[in-house]
Amino acid sequence: MRINKYIAQAGIVSRRKADELILNGNVKVNGAVMREPGYDVDNGDKVEVNGRIIDNNQEKVYLLVNKPLNMITAASDDKDRETVMEIIKDVDARLFPVGRLDYNTTGALIMTNDGDISYRITHPKHEMDKTYRALVKGVISPEKAARLRKGVDIGGFMTSRAKVKIIKGNSHSTLVEISIHEGKNRQVRKMFAAVGNPVQTLERIAIGEIRLGRLKQGHYRKLNREEIEYLKNC
């Protein structure tokens, strides 16, 4: 097994991040620095990441978290802000959040120690939809909805086609569901700003076919067998 995949499957980081660690000299095999992402790990090899020996045989854990407002999507924060790790502190496994969810956005976040699943969810080639429910200022006209569906310029980047559904609205605000498969920083907020409707609140309600449902903010649940198989085969 290639060493980048070995590290990812151990739940340390994603495969892309593993490549960075390898190239930066943060990985050792049998005591020697390894800078070749294509190296095949043999049975009996001792692999270290940042001085820590990793175990690729740990049980895989898959959780769906409902992230509250004002919480960092990271394992730690240099400004000592609260992170999503607080929600799962009773879980006896070293998990990491898959992808990111902005500080002031709530909703669905998958946490796992399976690097392959992380790769499938986040890599653009898999085009996994993430669905958001946004309360935006003002009216979303049919013309604006059409622009969002077709793609808008959010500052040098033209977004791909999106699915847009108007839930309800009045002259002051509109509740909208939007599905995108890209993951640019603050993309949904920038898309609505581009058509003149700033976001007031934003919640991610689904990752692919895995829906938040009635899961309360600040809580988590285990993914069921069907959901795990869906992620492995999407």
What residues does each domain of the chain span? 3-53, 62-124+218-233, 129-207
3-53 CATH pick, 3.10.290.10, 3.40.50.620, 3.40.50.10540, 2.10.109.10: 3.10.290.10
Q: Which of 120 and 90 is assigned the larger pLDDT?
A: 90
pLDDT-based confidence at 161, cuts 50/70/90?
very high
Among residues 78, 132, 121, 127, which one has the least CA distance to residue 96? 121
User: Which of the following is catalytic: 45, 55, 78, 102?
Assistant: 102
Query: How many CB atoms within 10 Å of residue 188?
Result: 26
Q: What is the pLDDT of residue 75?
A: 83
d(CA 49, CA 37): 13
- What value, to the nearest 5°, has the Cα angle with vertex 155 and ends 153 and 158? 30
Cβ(37)–Cβ(18) below 8 Å: yes
> How would you classify the pairing of strands 199-207 and 106-112?
parallel
> 102 an active-site residue?
yes
The single-letter code of the amino acid at 44 is G
Structure-token pair, residue 212: 């938040």
Q: Which of 185 and 138 is assigned the larger pLDDT?
A: 138
Q: Do domains 3-53 and 129-207 have the same CATH topology?
A: no
Residues 6+ apart with CB under 8 A from 110: 62, 63, 64, 65, 97, 98, 99, 117, 121, 207, 210, 223, 231
Structure-token pair, residue 194: 């581009």
Q: What is the pLDDT of residues 98-156, one digit of tens each?
A: 988 999 999 999 999 888 888 888 877 778 999 999 999 999 999 999 999 999 999 99
62-124+218-233 CATH pick, 3.30.70.330, 3.30.70.580, 3.30.950.10, 3.30.70.100: 3.30.70.580
For the chain, state the CA radius of gyration: 20
129-207 CATH pick, 3.30.420.40, 3.40.50.720, 3.30.70.1560, 3.20.20.450: 3.30.70.1560
Phi, psi of 85 (to 5 degrees): -65, -25
Structure-token pair, residue 81: 């802000």
What angle separates helix 115-122 from helix 225-233, to the nearest 10 degrees? 60
Structure-token pair, residue 162: 């999106």
Q: What is the pLDDT of residues 37-79, one digit of tens each?
A: 889 988 888 899 998 888 766 788 999 999 999 999 988 888 8
Average the pLDDT over each of 8-12, 170-174, 218-222 and give the range with the smallest value.
8-12
Q: What is the pLDDT of residue 136?
A: 98
Strand ranges inside the chain, DSSP E: 27-29, 32-33, 47-49, 52-53, 62-67, 96-97, 106-112, 130-137, 163-169, 173-180, 199-207, 210-211, 220-222
Q: What is the pLDDT of residue 148?
A: 98
